[in-house]
Amino acid sequence: MLVSNLKLRDMIYLKNSKLIFWMLLLFSVFIFIFCAERKRLNPLDPQNKETEGKPQGLRVYSELNQVFLSWKPVDVKNILGYRVYRKAAFEDDFQPIYVTPQDSSEYVDKNVQYEIRYTYRITVLGEDFESNPSDTVSIIPGPTSIWFADLYGRNLIRLTHDCRHEIERIPVDGYPWALAIEKSYQQLWYTDVLFNRVLRVNLNTRQQFIVTNLNYSDPVDVEIDHQHGRVWVADEDSGKVIVFRDDGLKLSEIAGFQRISDIDICDTDGYCWVVDSRTKKVTQIRSDYRIGIDLKDLESPTRIAIDQTTCELWVIDKGSIKKLNRLGKKILTINSGFNYPWNLAVDAETGNCWVLDWGDQSSNSRLICFASDGSRLVEVAGFSYPETIIINPYDHGCIVADSGSGKIIKISETGIILSQSTEYFYPYGLAIIYR
């Protein structure tokens, strides 16, 4: 009986020993895996699946001849700093240009030139190591920046000179529509077609001010008369043109129109030209607010753009483009090759007129550039219901708000698409700052 009890005890001991062995083995494996995973949590570990051992979140934007870099700081102790590398378009390899302090996550490159593409990357420096380089970012600095209204996104957004990067965005509570830059007071004026208001933004403080409420009207356009310090607003539904001083004080109100579709200002004489799409007229309002020339021999005008050098008028009239002198006398007509001309802009220096021509389906709209004599210079296809266009006075190309695709597109004077800023809700109004 004693022998049997001893054998039974030995068997239990052996069984328990095996169980303890396997438990220790599993525990060891768990500790190994856990430690390995903890090691992989190091953001500078090349085997880290999320970071691949490189710094993250590198962003870039430019203002004039400075380039601003920022990135996510690395959560690792005792690093020495971040090394910034740069490669200009004319260089073959990246060159180290700066090492930041260890607690810094930004850098300003002040040694750049206009119209040269610069590409950047950064690494993390330790006492005895340098991390993998970050993903690269690139930018072309220049003397302009572009504001646009993202209608349904409810933002005013400023882009860099190359239209590739956001500098900032200002949230608004309405639907921003038309934009204009008032230079002397550094103000951005815009119309709100949701709450039917006119507002201005101080570009130094970013404060917003309501200039006026138009109740059930529809403020479709705003233009600046820089010579006389006036701001002209077109109210489509009420048939009024309202004039404000550049500080927001209301100066005048000109009524009698039926459906205003567009206005433009001649900077030389301060005259405002009004397109009334219902009466099919283009009317001149003089700087003393009196009605001047009344053009009645047009078929169905919708949009107007003024050559600021000659004060000549370019008008979309039904399916054609007409050019008129400052007295309203027709100079030329371009009436072939269009589908549905929608909007236009004139380069004051070259005299070229750029026209947005809508197609009959998405991605079938075009941009066409005509010389001052009406000859066709450039045609660019592939737009999706582009709404607005503005001339870049620095390089004589243009910026297009391609609302159907949600893009802001920069195009060269020769018709080359230089860049696209994408994924906006409905870009519409455009304004440009040129310093």
Question: 305 lies in a domain?
Answer: yes
Same domain, yes or no: 355 and 313: yes
> Do 292 and 413 belong to one domain?
yes
Q: How far apart are CA 344 and CA 355, in angstroms?
A: 4
> How many angstroms separate the CA atoms of 78 and 43, rounded?
14
| Number of domains composing the chain | 3
CATH number at residue 291: 2.130.10.10
Whether 381 is in a domain gets the answer yes
Whether residues 30 and 119 fall in one domain: no
Residues 324 and 175 in one domain: yes
Do 221 and 128 lie in one domain? The reply is no
Does 188 lie in the same domain as 73? no
Note the pTM of the prediction, 2 decimals: 0.87
Residue 279 lies in a domain: yes
- pLDDT at residue 12 in the model: 47
Domain that holds residue 193: 144-434
Among 123, 139, 155, the domain-final residue is: 139
Judge if 269 and 316 occupy the same domain: yes
How far are the Cα atoms of 116, 268, 332, 334, 335 from residue 371, in angstroms, in the given order?
28, 22, 12, 11, 15
| Residue where one domain finishes, among candidates 92, 119, 139 | 139
Q: Which residue matches tokens 């233009």? A: 223
- Domain shared by 371 and 403, yes or no: yes
Residue 21 has a pLDDT of 52
Statement to judge: residues 121 and 152 lie in one domain: no
Query: Which pLDDT score, from 0 to 100, does residue 428 have?
Result: 97
- Residue 35 burial (10 A CB sphere; 0-12, 13-18, 19+): exposed
Query: CB-based contacts of 150: which residues, under 8 Å, 6+ apart?
Result: 156, 157, 176, 424, 425, 426, 427, 428
Shared domain for 70 and 179, answered yes or no, is: no
Dump pLDDT digits (tens) for 209-221: 999 999 888 999 9
- What is the token pair recorded at 331? 């100079």
Residue 140, CA distances (Å) to 91, 114, 117, 124, 343 in order: 15, 7, 4, 25, 28
The one-digit pLDDT tens for each residue of the chain (435 residues) are 444 544 545 554 445 555 555 555 555 544 444 444 444 577 777 777 777 778 999 999 999 999 999 999 998 888 899 999 999 999 999 999 999 999 999 999 999 999 999 999 999 999 888 999 999 999 999 999 999 999 999 999 999 999 999 999 999 999 999 999 998 879 999 999 999 999 999 999 999 999 999 988 899 999 999 999 999 999 999 999 999 999 999 999 999 999 999 999 999 999 999 999 999 999 999 999 999 999 988 999 999 999 999 999 999 999 999 999 999 999 999 998 899 999 999 999 999 999 999 998 878 999 999 999 999 999 999 999 999 999 999 999 999 999 999 999 999 999 999 999 998 999 999 999 998
Residues 100, 174, single domain; the answer is: no
DSSP 382-420: EESS--EEEE-TTTS-EEEEETTTTEEEEE-TTS-EEEE
Domain shared by 416 and 337, yes or no: yes
* Residue 337 falls inside a structural domain: yes
Residue ranges in 41-156 assigned as alpha helix (H): none
Nearest to 60 by CA among 149, 135, 156, 113: 135
pLDDT at residue 40, as a whole number: 52
Q: Is residue 195 part of a domain?
A: yes
